[in-house]
Amino acid sequence: MKTKLFITCLLLIPYYLIAQENSIPPATWQINTAVLGLEEAFRDEAKVYGYDADGNFAVLREGTNQYICLADNPNQDGFQVAAYHKDLDEFMARGRELKKQGKNFKEIFDIREEEVKNGSLKMPYGSTLIVLRGTVNETTKAIENEKVRYVVYTPFATTESTGLPTKPRAGGHAWIMNPGTHRAHIMITPTYPKKDDDK
């Protein structure tokens, strides 16, 4: 395992050094890190969105399987990538479009709520979003301290229809968020052992 991690680090370093004078990491580094939330068997064929040299949101790699990945946003603090089922792409793209127009979270929520209800926006049932957070090792540029959470979209589901509570009973327990709305989803946030540097 340590040997595999060392090799991965060596592969990432040259790609990252290319962009030392640019705030946008190179496409190869973005792609390699964007897919980390997926099982290894699905990583090579996933579609990846990221940022071009000018900082524009763009497709970095086309895909052939069911996953779409989002590279880390270089304009935001911390490291976070995401992966979701391709059936969610229309919904996600609509959110990005509205945000680009300057809409805030509530406005985006309300607009998509109405569009899902009137049928102009597709919101699939049961599709999953995987979010991975971590830290970038400043020396190796590898991602460390990875933590993942899972979101399963269940539009208009409620506590009554699912049997799930509206808040977790304990760490790692599943619960339903935004029940009764187009954005109703099951949240699963695994717990991770604390490390010495987390204390």
Element holding 143 (H helix, E strand): strand 143-153
Under a CB-based contact definition with an 8 Å cutoff, are residues 150 and 132 in contact?
no
pTM of the model: 0.83
Distance CA 42, CA 129 (A): 14
Q: Which of 192, 141, 119, 118 is nearest to 11 (CA)?
A: 141
pLDDT score recorded for residue 18: 45
- The answer for 61, left when phi > 0, alpha when psi is -120 to 50, beta otherwise, is beta
End-to-end Cα spacing for the chain = 26
- Give the whole-angstrom CA distance, residue 23 versus residue 75: 9
Per-residue pLDDT of the chain (199 residues; tens, 9 = 90+): 545 444 445 455 554 444 444 589 999 999 999 999 999 999 999 999 999 999 999 999 999 999 999 999 999 999 999 999 999 999 999 999 999 999 999 999 999 999 999 999 999 999 999 999 999 999 999 999 999 999 999 999 999 999 999 999 888 899 999 999 999 999 999 888 776 555 5
Instruction: Please state the separation of Cα 82 from the chain's center in Å.
Output: 1
pLDDT recorded at residue 7: 47
| Per-residue pLDDT at 4 | 47
Q: How far is CA 83 from CA 38, 60, 88, 161, 167, in A?
A: 7, 14, 10, 27, 24
d(CA 50, CA 143): 17
For the chain, what are the domain ranges? 2-87+122-198
**Res 8: pLDDT:** 47
Helix axes 27-34, 2-17, angle to 10 degrees: 150
Record the tokens describing residue 151, joined without a space: 């979101």
8 A C-beta contact, residue 134 and residue 37: no
